[in-house]
Amino acid sequence: MAWSLAGTYFESCSCDAICPCTWSGLAAKATNDRCNFFLAFQIETGEVDGVNVSGLSFGMLGDTPPVMSEGNWRVGLFLDAAGTDEQRAKLGAVLGGELGGPPAMLGPFIGEMLGVEVAAISIEEEKGRHRVRIGDFVDVEVAEYTAGELPEPVRLTNVFHPANTTLTVAPTVTARVSAMGVSFGRPGESGFAAPFAWSA
């Protein structure tokens, strides 16, 4: 079953900027007792087994031990209410790791699925700012960080991450996540943004 998704991603996590999990390949300890994260994805072009999923969004919520490489992650998904049942089923199979590709690499780390929530997802992106709102569950905005008068924002390169190996540093402007028993969020938390392109 062939599939491909491409678009933009951004995230916030409960660590202080910059998240040690990200720059260390999940080996360094988070800055808090747990690592909570929310990843938002907007699909610009996508197809799963002949089903067009372009224009849809999805989100991934996580709660992990402070050293993420130890596993036992608790993960939940948000699927776009704008999609059809068929579109959501196809995306769910991709995100569950059943169809290979980057999402499957997270499988060994996940110890518990918190559930799947179907909800309206609103994503706005403009001039280095990225915001996602999902009902009463999620309201996160991150802003790409540029140091001084340099022409490009700060980036991490050669990182182990499902979205991209190069991430733009984008700390949170506002962050409020409360869903599936996981709650976190404050200004100045770690955040990143990048294009993503997945296929299998």
pLDDT digits 0-9 by tens, 97-134: 999 999 998 889 999 999 999 999 999 999 999 999 99
- Asked whether the bond before 18 is cis by omega within 30 degrees of 0, the reply is yes
**H-type helices in the chain, by residue range?**
20-23, 85-95
Question: What phi, psi does 109 have (nearest 5°)?
Answer: -90, -20
Model confidence over 38-50: pLDDT tens digits?
999 999 999 999 9
27 three-state secondary structure: coil
128's CB contacts (< 8 A; 6+ apart) are: 143, 144, 146, 153, 170, 193
- Whole-number Å distance between alpha carbons of 52 and 95: 16
Residues 13, 16, 21, CA angle at the centre, nearest 5°? 60
Model confidence over 67-98: pLDDT tens digits?
998 989 999 999 999 999 999 999 999 999 99
Q: What is the pTM of this model?
A: 0.95
